[in-house]
Amino acid sequence: MKIFFSTLFLAISLSLSAQNFSVFHEPPTSQSIRSMAEWEETGTLVVTWTSFKTILAQIIAEASTECEVLVVCNSETNTISQLQNTYGVTLNNNIKFLEAPYNSLWVRDYGPNTVYLDNDELAIVDWVYNRPSRVNDNTMPEKIAEELDVPIYITDESPYQMVHTGGNYHTNGDGLAFSSALVIEENEPFNPYGTEPLTEDEIDEIMSSFMGIDTYIKMDALPYDVINHIDMHFRPLDEETIMVGEYPTGTSDGPVIEANLLYVLDNSTTQFGTPWNIVRMPMPPENGQYPWGGGDYRTYTNSVIVNKKILMPTYEYQYDTTAIRIYEENMPGYEVVGINCNQIIPSLGALHCITKEVGTPNPLRIVHQKVTDKGPGTLSVPVSARVTHKSGIETVTLHYRLDESSPLESITMEHQGDSIYSADIIEDFTPLYTKVDYYIEAEAVSGKTRSRPVPAPEGFYSFIVENTSSTSDIAASYDMQPVFPNPSKGITCIPVETRYGTSGMLELYDLNGKQLKTIYQGDFPAGESRYYIDASEFAAGSYIIKFRTELKSDQQTLIIK
C-alpha cells in the first residue's frame, strides 16, 4: 500500500509539472511582490560552464552540498567528463545540467532575478542585458525559467523596457534596493541598447512594479571600478548589516565609497527603522598596489552566500585570513570557503559575478532584529521574529544559553498576530557580566524547518547583559566617535556609540558659545548610530560639536573649509 501511494503521488506530481512556466512582458498582477535577498534560502545556484573552469568546478563542488547547482553548458556529456576526470568533482544528485547556447561566463549580470508573488509563489524577473552583442546570454533567464518550471516576467517591451545588470543590484529582501547610477546612465536617451529612454522615476516605477522595490538607492560611480557594479565593493549580509570595501584613507576608490556610504546611511535604514550596522572589509592590494596604481580590482565583497556556506574569493594568505575572520565574526556558524580568484580578477569579476541564485519554491522565512546589549536593571529580554511559510507555521522555538558551557534552554515563541512570534528570556541577570547566546528555530505545517542564524546551532546570535551599578561606568559607555571628514566642506558624519542606548542631543556651536544648530535630539540606540550635517551651510572656520546626555557631556572641534 505504501508503494502504491508513493507511486500515485509521483504520478500526480508529474501530471502537475510543467504547468508553471509562462512568459510575460508586463508586470505581475499580484497583490504583493518581494525581491529575494541573497542570505535567504537558495534553491538553485546557476553557473555557466565556460572559461575559468578550475574556479567553476570548486563552486559546483562546494555549492552542491547546500542546494541544487544548475550548470549551463554546450554538452552535458562533455561537461560531466571534465568535472570528473579533469577537476576531480564527485557528482551528486544536486548537480543538474542545462544544454543551452551562451556567450559568456557572467551569469550574475544576465541571469534570473528571484521574486516572490503573493503567498510566496516563486517567479523570475529578467531585464534587458547591458551587453547587446551577447544575444544568447540575454535569453538565458527564459531557458532557466522553463527548466525550473517557474513564470518569468521580462522588461523588454514598452513601456517597461529597461536595461540593467545583476552585478549592479543588491536588495534587503523587504522593498529596498541598491545600485550604482549606472542603471540611470544605461537607460538615458541615445543609449547603445536601442531601448526607449527612461527617467529615474520611470526606472523606479518599473523596479517597483516588477520587483517590489519601493526605495531604490543609487550611488555615484567609482573612478577605478570601470564596470560600476556595486558587488565589487558593497553587499548586505542580513537585515541589519552592510559590508563595504575599505581602502587606506584617501586611496583609490576609498573617498567615493565613503561618500556613497554616507548617502546610503542618510537615505535608508533597516526594515526595523534602525541605522545600518556597517562592516568594513579591507580591499587587498596586488604587489602593494591598488587599482589606481596598477593593481587588479581585488575584492572580498564579491562573495556568494549559499545557505550555510559563504564562498569567498581569496588572493594572498596575509590578507585572506583577515577577510575570513571578518566574515566569521559577522556571519556566525557559516562555513567560509576560500576560492583563489587571482586568475579571474583581471577580468573585473570574482565569485559573485559568475554565479546566480534562484530561491526555493516554498521558503520558510524568519526575519529577525538581533537583540542588542542590555544594561543595569535587566529582568527579562524579549526576542521576536516574523515567521512565514505557505503551509502555515507549526511551532517557533527560542533556544538560548547563558554561557558556552551551559545546556540550551528552549522556549516556545507565541504568535502575536501578523506573523510575529515572541518570547521573553527570564533569567538571573544579576552577575556583573552575562553573555547570552541564542537562535530561533521554526517548523512549518509541511514539516520544513529553518533557523536563524541559518547554520544554528553551529552558530548563535549573542548579546551582553552588563549589570554594573556605577553611574560613571554607564556614562563611560556613551561616546561620540571622531567626526569625519574633518576638516570638512560638505556632508559631515558624527558617529555616536552607546552600549545600552540613551537619550540626549547633538548640537553645533561657534567658538563664542552660540548654539547654531540642533543636529539631533532624542533617543540614541544601543550600538553605533550616525548623524549628519552639511558643512557647506556654514562659513569657513572652527566650530564645536557637543554631545549631551543626563550623565555625560562631550565635545569635539570641527573645522569647516
Please report the DSSP string for 139-175 in residue order.
HHHHHHHHHHT--EEE--STTS--EE-GGG-EE-SSS
Cell numbers at 165, concatenated: 545588470
The answer as to whether 323 is a domain residue is yes
Q: Are residues 124 and 233 in the same domain?
A: yes
Widest Cα–Cα separation across the chain: 91
Res. 202: pLDDT tops 80: yes
* DSSP for residue 364: -
**Rounded CA gap, 495 and 531, in Å?**
6
CATH of the domain at 36: 3.75.10.10
CATH of the domain at 461: 2.60.40.10
The answer as to whether 78 is a domain residue is yes
Res. 471: pLDDT tops 60: no
The answer as to whether 531 is a domain residue is yes
Residue scoring higher pLDDT (535 or 23): 23
Q: Are residues 434 and 488 in the same domain?
A: no
Q: Are residues 324 and 379 in the same domain?
A: no
The answer as to whether 154 is a domain residue is yes
The answer as to whether 342 is a domain residue is yes
Q: Which of 466, 494, 519 is the last residue of a domain?
A: 466
**Rounded CA gap, 440 and 450, in Å?**
9
Q: Are residues 56 and 172 in the same domain?
A: yes
Cell numbers at 479, concatenated: 561616546
Q: Which of 466, 499, 522 is the last residue of a domain?
A: 466
Q: What's the number of domains the chain is made of?
A: 3
Under the banding of pLDDT at 50, 70 and 90, the label for residue 472 is low
Instruction: State the pLDDT at residue 468.
Output: 66
Cell numbers at 215, concatenated: 526605495
Residue with cell 541605522: 275
Q: Are residues 21 and 64 in the same domain?
A: yes
Instruction: State the pLDDT at residue 529.
Output: 81
Q: Are residues 231 and 322 in the same domain?
A: yes
Instruction: State the pLDDT at residue 3.
Output: 36
| Nearest residue to 80 via CA among 102, 98, 101 | 98
Q: Is the dihedral of CA 71, 76, 80, 81 positive or negative?
A: negative
Q: Are residues 335 and 385 in the same domain?
A: no
The answer as to whether 471 is a domain residue is no
Cell numbers at 81, concatenated: 567528463
Q: Are residues 112 and 210 in the same domain?
A: yes
Identify whether the C-beta of residue 479 lies closer than 8 Å to the C-beta of residue 553: no
Residue scoring higher pLDDT (469 or 15): 469
Domain that holds residue 453: 365-466
The answer as to whether 254 is a domain residue is yes
Cell numbers at 362, concatenated: 516554498
**Rounded CA gap, 123 and 153, in Å?**
8
CA angle, 259 as apex, 254 and 262 as ends, to 5°?
Answer: 125
Kindly state the helix (H) or strand (E) to which residue 383 belongs, with its residue range: strand 380-388
CA angle, 400 as apex, 399 and 404 as ends, to 5°?
Answer: 130
Residue 31: count other Cβ atoms within 10 Å of its Cβ. 8
Which residues of 42-143 form beta strands (DSSP E)?
42-48, 68-73, 95-99, 113-117, 121-126, 128-129
Residue 224: count other Cβ atoms within 10 Å of its Cβ. 16
Res. 138: pLDDT tops 50: yes
Mind listing the pLDDT tens digit for each residue in 60-112? Answer: 999 999 999 999 999 999 999 999 999 999 999 999 999 999 999 999 999 99
State the average pLDDT over residues 193-200: 96
| Nearest residue to 356 via CA among 139, 156, 177, 140 | 140
Mind listing the pLDDT tens digit for each residue in 300-321? Answer: 999 999 999 999 999 999 999 9
State the average pLDDT over residues 136-144: 98
Q: Which of 359, 381, 400 is the last residue of a domain?
A: 359
From the centroid of its chain, how far is CA 546? 34
Residue scoring higher pLDDT (99 or 490): 99
Q: Are residues 29 and 73 in the same domain?
A: yes
The answer as to whether 9 is a domain residue is no
Instruction: State the pLDDT at residue 332.
Output: 96
Backbone conformation region of residue 488, classed left if phi is above 0, alpha if psi is from -120 to 50, else beta:
beta
State the average pLDDT over residues 380-399: 97
Mean pLDDT of the chain: 92
Q: Are residues 297 and 380 in the same domain?
A: no
Mind listing the pLDDT tens digit for each residue in 22-66? Answer: 999 999 999 999 999 999 999 999 999 999 999 999 999 999 999
Under the banding of pLDDT at 50, 70 and 90, the label for residue 375 is confident
Residue 104: count other Cβ atoms within 10 Å of its Cβ. 18
Q: pTM of the prediction?
A: 0.86
Residue with cell 554565479: 355
Q: Are residues 260 and 145 in the same domain?
A: yes
Q: Are residues 176 and 242 in the same domain?
A: yes
In the chain, count of helices (H) and strands (E)? 10, 36
**Rounded CA gap, 521 and 532, in Å?**
13
Instruction: State the pLDDT at residue 475.
Output: 54
Instruction: State the pLDDT at residue 477.
Output: 61
Between β-strands 309-314 and 304-306, what pairing exists: parallel, antiparallel or unpaired? Answer: antiparallel
